[in-house]
A and B are shown apart, each in its own frame.
Chain A
């Protein structure tokens, strides 16, 4: 798994460790081998137990606080949506247009990321509330809940980053890992990339169909028909709502509302695409071959989830708007844990990393995103190499204690009392 020295990441802003002490520790050791191979089987089991313990502790602690959290987010989303739609009725006035469009974009992002993605993961199933449950939820996007649960919850979260099995590695039409063999088709990748950003929800919907199976004629005809029907059904409803009914309700100024809705959908798509691509495709994330994980244990699975994902650093609002997928590492370790808990357990995950010399992949948004874009551009062409991987996580040094300046008095003595 080790690589020769790859191109330096120093050309990307914010990648220098020293520039942000203690935040993103990239050891930058180009010869660091995949930790999966460095650990002994006993260590792997210990790690598995350590992670399982974190999971079980949270599980046992779930209650009112969490239920209130998700309900308030859902309520906020609904209020914001309703309000934005109302404001957009006056879309002929530019400030109203801007306000309504912003509100709608934020609402759509919240709905897809913090609510839809996480509810469909079953993160809130423990509440036993049929209205906030993975079996009944549907979201405001083109892919149907059922097929997404299959391709994402099952395929992607089980075979995470196994090239050839995890279809999220390149979504079957992109080459984002050097292990994927190059084909001339990938020359179109830079163009496709932009298209996927803008039309992300449609990409996701089509992705669920299992393009490879269709290409090879292996897909069950009836199932394909059912799934296409499902997507078409959702598409018709979405399009009717955003591009026919709400504009119609705005009367003469229907065009303005139409534009607002279109903009909100694009904003949501671009944002979702950015967050999701930053979760697995930055340089720090490892990918795996099928042989490597042939007889994987529970512990091995945890290690693979840990090093196959990458976090994004940011403010609380940023985490909320990314559906807490900025805690992609924690999410991959515990896909069915309520997202609101990821921040809380991050220190525990880091502690495990530190104890076993494992990397904790993370970085600021712009850095992660640029790395992804660089890979996409580079890998459109033949060849390409694994990027250097980070070394073990090292906790940032404790902030220096303030030494008493006067014996017997804690803290510095003010100069002018």
Chain B
């Protein structure tokens, strides 16, 4: 299987008509023919058109996209997988959504920081003129403001980790809930602070929002030791944090040490799996129906790894449950999600083999 865009939202009548017309186009879909007239009329995948690219800093650009079909909505802090074609190959990356959930014109924006060796970020920041068609994945992510809003909040961000935090801050402002928010942001230089201008402005307008910029080029990086000085009451605050992995790890440890880990919400763009905390279950056997291979997975071993060890060539991408490249259709049995420990699976469901282990005997179409 392959990474896909989300299914767009289509009115029920249109959907029913398309379904009926399939009888005439099988094995193709009516959409395949409709797309010959205008590719954007296809309802197979959620797409959007780039409206403009707004430069935030030397390295960061906010890409404003008009979705072709209705926008399903998002919560500030969540991210979007966005795909584009470069030299004949479709690539995907996830970026935080930085537009308002209820944008008056229905536009959606993500903010991209250029990674020099990257493939996608240079494309989005440089070669993506208005009119470019991009593919839109599902809105994902658990990192979002809780309901009800916390009375006292602490935001910690660094580098491009600012993007989800920025969305949250704007939401707080919109909902008039910036009563008591402290924001610590680590950035190499003041100029490289993405959304720096807007946030300084916000701090000026709102008493309740205090912004601290830690310029790592001169003052060193933001550390847990800074907390007592900068935010003496940090233990009492609901904390939201987004930044590089090492930084998050250090802060998580610190909060754990205080026994208040549940107060800290983090966004890692690289989820960690198999850290031993989830229940690993019984393991089991897998039969790959298409490849015609049998494999045995010890407890805690994913279907993908088990299959590969048994000599099957299986599709994979990220190997950690975000790209959906590795999915196959489950025919028999149930599987355990290695990240959450949860057992699930129904006949006909597509499952990600990289983060699921068999729970007993499993048959999968792959």
Contact = CB atoms under 8 A, between A and B. Distances in A.
A125 interface: yes
B24 A135 contact: no
A82 B2 CA distance: 28
B88 A139 contact: no
Interface string B310-329: 00000100000000000000
Contact of B90 (A128, A138, A150): A128
Nearest to B87: A63
Main DSSP-derived SS at the A contact region: helix
Interface stretch (B248-256, B289-297, B333-341): B289-297
Interface string A125-139: 111111101011011
Instruction: Give the interface size bracket for B toward A.
Output: 20 to 34
Contacts of B32: 78
A78 B36 contact: yes
Contact of A127 (B33, B36, B89, B290): B89
A245 B85 CA distance: 38
Contacts of A240: 23
Given A154-B291, A237-B26, A245-B24, A79 B4 contact: no
Interface stretch (A64-72, A160-168, A171-179, A256-264): A64-72
B2 A136 contact: yes
B90 A78 contact: no
B365 interface: yes
A75 B36 contact: yes
A128 B292 contact: no
Contact of B3 (A65, A82, A128, A154): A128
A90 interface: no
A138 B3 contact: no
A154 B44 CA distance: 30
Contact of B88 (A64, A78, A223, A234): A64
Contacts of B290: 146, 149-150, 154
B315 A128 contact: no
Contact of B36 (A79, A139, A155, A246): A79
A127 B1 CA distance: 12
A50 interface: no
Contacts of A66: 88
A87 to B, nearest CB: 15
Nearest to A66: B88
B28 interface: yes
Contacts of B4: 130
A392 B3 CA distance: 46
A68 B88 contact: yes
B298 interface: no
Nearest to A62: B88
Contacts of A65: 88
Interface string B84-113: 010111110000000000000000000000
A151 to B, nearest CB: 10
A136 B289 contact: no
Instruction: Give the interface size bracket for A toward B.
Output: 35 or more
Contacts of B232: none
Interface in B257-292: 289-292
Contacts of B25: 241
Nearest to A222: B332
A313 interface: no
B45 interface: yes
Given A127-B89, A136-B1, A154 B292 contact: yes
Interface in A27-86: 62-68, 75, 78-79, 82
B2 A63 contact: no
A140 interface: yes
Contact of B23 (A128, A140, A241): A241
A5 interface: no
Given A79-B36, A130-B4, 13 more contacts: A63-B87, A63-B89, A67-B89, A78-B28, A126-B89, A128-B3, A131-B44, A133-B1, A146-B289, A146-B365, A226-B331, A237-B23, A245-B23
Interface of A: 62-68, 75, 78-79, 82, 125-131, 133, 135-136, 138-140, 146, 149-150, 154-155, 223, 226, 234, 237-238, 240-241, 245-246
By Cβ-Cβ distance, the 7 closest A-B pairs, closest first, are: A67-B88, A138-B27, A128-B90, A63-B87, A237-B26, A135-B1, A130-B4
24 contacts: A63-B88, A75-B36, A78-B32, A78-B36, A125-B315, A130-B45, A131-B44, A131-B45, A133-B2, A135-B315, A138-B27, A139-B27, A146-B289, A149-B290, A150-B291, A150-B292, A154-B291, A154-B292, A155-B292, A223-B289, A240-B23, A241-B24, A241-B25, A245-B24
